[in-house]
Structure 1
Amino acid sequence: MAQGTIAARRTGLERVDLRLIAALAAVWILWGSTFAAMHLAVSAIPPFAMASIRFTIAGLVLLAVAAARRKLRVTRADLVRAVVTGATLLLFGNGMTAWTVQFLPTGLNSLLLSLAPVWMALIAFAWGGERPSRPAIAGMLLGFAGLALLLQSKSGGAFALWPAIVALLASISWAFGSIYQRRAAPAASLTVATSLQMIAGGILLGLEAALTGEWRHVGAASFTPESLAGLAWLIVCGSLVAYSAYLYTMQAANAALASTYAYVNPLVAVILGMVLFRERFTPAEAIASAIILAGVALMMVPGRRFSRSASHRCDPASASP
């Protein structure tokens, strides 16, 4: 009996690890691809309106999935969590990032947003005493150094001060929302929690688009084949798959490991740029990519020691979106 229980526990832990690996891979690769998709989508659809459409549709799809699985149970805590995370992650994090893209060079914007893992580690330490290990700290520093080298050639030149400040605040807001997501009481269903968050974020982004007058510029001409293709990719791969996987990693992994997407996504974006847009990949970028991967490897070291604590924070059986 005891051996059977131990075997079952081991099987469960292995299942958790495999799910976490799949979730991390989705966040790393699919979120990296959203840079190209967003470029296509905003070519004809204003950024706040586009983000509102994206998250509202994705949230409604997830809500329908939850209803079909008969898990559509919404509590007051779920609504509060949805509003807070919808505002911090999607309105201020994603929405304001979409706004800054209009004024800042892509490299500089990405570099400012890549500070999110640093803020996450600091907030996690200040909020709950989650102290990163020395390899994780070294990995963060190494990954940031590689990212700075990767984007150095694209971040030069003059830039508007206020959009840069907004981008920095967006990264802090994203970090706070991510840590809040982990610290808040666990939801009965991650599918419901994710759908409510997206719907709340979509509504807030829609209000933002209304305040800035973007909806007046949205019409039939906005939905070109390119913008529709980009929007569809963002909804399916960026929101339904990758974003749901990100929320899972924030519950099942420590802050350092969950934040490694900020180092891998630019690398994926560079590779896609080479394949899709024939962008040049310089030797300096190759060196930077190697440094980024080395930093990610170091940050994954503490992931081997979180299984017990993670099992108390998230029930894998009910967490799959």
Structure 2
Amino acid sequence: MALETFSPTTLVCFRYLTSGLFMLIVARIAGWHIPRGRELWLTAFFGVVTLGIGNGCLAFAEQWVPSGLAALFVTTSPFWLVGTEALAPRGEPLHAPTIKGMLVGVAGVAFLVAPAAVDFRANPLVLGAFLLLQFGCAGWAVGSIAQRKTSSRAHPFVSGAVQQLATGIVYSVPAAIRHDPIHWSPRGIGAIIYLMIFGSIVGYSAYVFAMDRLPVAVASIYTYVNPIVAVILGWLLYNEPFGVREAIAMVIIFAGVAMVKKASSAPVPVEKLGADRAAESGQYGE
């Protein structure tokens, strides 16, 4: 719905500039540590990789496919996260149950995109959107795991603010060059406000905190909720198709995610979660 008002580049730019700036102001008032120097640059870079590639690809892909279908495509995100964690230094290795769950999830995605794969010429945009979204999921996973493995004094809320502001600044360049027209509409304005409050300020902050404190498989629980919300809203507001194939694919993909989460439920040893963390009450002060 937000794409009714903004182009993809303008949407990402406006959304993250606004939410990131607001969150930094809140963090400053709260007296939390604001990253500086190398810590600031690393946090900003991880944000651009995570949000700039991840949500940037999603914004562009939703020009080609319905939001519900795009949401189903990105349910592969937990597999990218768990796989990236396994490949990272001191990461949790992949075990047989985890691999089985990942294969089930891949089977669900294959079932979902099978019609487009069989008739590529008739559905080039669908397959293009799928590949673009998988690239976005990979970027999201790499940025998230890299941030998780990097020691930081910043509160997760502050880290999220820096990441969002950096992403907005990066996207301001193509947004300014393209200078796409803005088509204001009540529904579009409502959608962007919803994305900034619940998607950026609340949702992403919670995700950064979860990635900082919980096993990767547990932190990826957001993928259970987002596709369902997107599918329901797309069906209710846009009459987007949601048939038997999509329903079966969703069940298969979620079954795979559940298997991966169950196999990866043990806490993951992460250096940044070690004993060098100060007491929660005072660790984020200046």
Q: Same fold (TM over 0.5)?
A: yes
Counterpart in the other structure of 1:27: none
| 8 Å contact kept, 1:108–1:154 | no
Counterpart in the other structure of 2:124: 159
Counterpart in the other structure of 1:87: 48
Among 159, 164, 183, the alignment partner of 1:193 is 159
Counterpart in the other structure of 2:139: 173
Counterpart amino acid of residue 199 in structure 1: L
Shift of 1:207: 1.2
Counterpart in the other structure of 1:253: 214
Shift of 1:102: 2.5
Give distance in 2, aligned partners of 1:54 and 1:163: 22
| SS of equivalent to 2:14 | helix
| 8 Å contact kept, 2:108–2:250 | yes
My pick for the range that moved more, 277-286 or 70-79, is 277-286
Counterpart in the other structure of 2:98: 136
Give distance in 2, aligned partners of 1:108 and 1:279: 9
| 8 Å contact kept, 2:104–2:256 | yes
Shift of 1:278: 5.2
Among 196, 206, 217, the alignment partner of 2:172 is 206
Give distance in 1, aligned partners of 2:155 and 2:113: 39
1:25-55 Cα distance to aligned partner (Å, 9 max, x none): xxxxxxxxxxxxxxx1110211111111111
Counterpart in the other structure of 1:76: 37
Cα pair distance change 1:305/1:232, threshold 3 Å: same
Counterpart amino acid of residue 178 in structure 1: S
What is the RMSD of the two structures over their aligned residues, measured on CA atoms? 3.3
- 5 Å matches for 1:265-280? 265-277=226-238
Give distance in 1, aligned partners of 2:240 and 2:132: 28
Counterpart in the other structure of 2:57: 96
Among 150, 169, 186, the alignment partner of 1:184 is 150
| SS of equivalent to 1:267 | helix
| SS of equivalent to 1:305 | coil
Aligned residues: 276
Among 237, 243, 256, the alignment partner of 1:295 is 256
Give distance in 1, aligned partners of 2:245 and 2:279: 41
Structure 1 vs Structure 2: percent identity of aligned residues? 32
Counterpart in the other structure of 1:238: 199
Q: For structure 1, list consecutive stretches of 5 or more residues without a partner in the other structure.
A: 1-39
Shift of 1:230: 0.4
| 8 Å contact kept, 2:68–2:240 | no
Cα pair distance change 1:231/1:85, threshold 3 Å: same
| 8 Å contact kept, 1:147–1:263 | no
Instruction: State TM-score, norm by structure 2.
Output: 0.79
Cα pair distance change 1:182/1:240, threshold 3 Å: same
Instruction: State TM-score, norm by structure 1.
Output: 0.72
1:51-78 Cα distance to aligned partner (Å, 9 max, x none): 1111111111211221221114332233
Q: Does 1:41 align with 2:7?
A: no
Counterpart in the other structure of 1:58: 19
Give distance in 2, aligned partners of 1:162 and 1:148: 14
| SS of equivalent to 2:92 | coil
My pick for the range that moved more, 238-247 or 83-92, is 83-92
| 8 Å contact kept, 2:13–2:169 | yes
Shift of 1:205: 1.1
Q: For structure 2, list consecutive stretches of 5 or more residues without a partner in the other structure.
A: none
Give distance in 1, aligned partners of 2:109 and 2:228: 9
1:217-246 Cα distance to aligned partner (Å, 9 max, x none): 23xxx3321111000000000101111111
Give distance in 2, aligned partners of 1:103 and 1:282: 19
| 8 Å contact kept, 1:49–1:209 | yes
Shift of 1:299: 2.4
My pick for the range that moved more, 301-310 or 285-294, is 301-310
Counterpart amino acid of residue 137 in structure 1: I
Shift of 1:85: 1.6
Counterpart amino acid of residue 218 in structure 2: L
Give distance in 1, aligned partners of 2:194 and 2:110: 28
Counterpart amino acid of residue 157 in structure 2: T
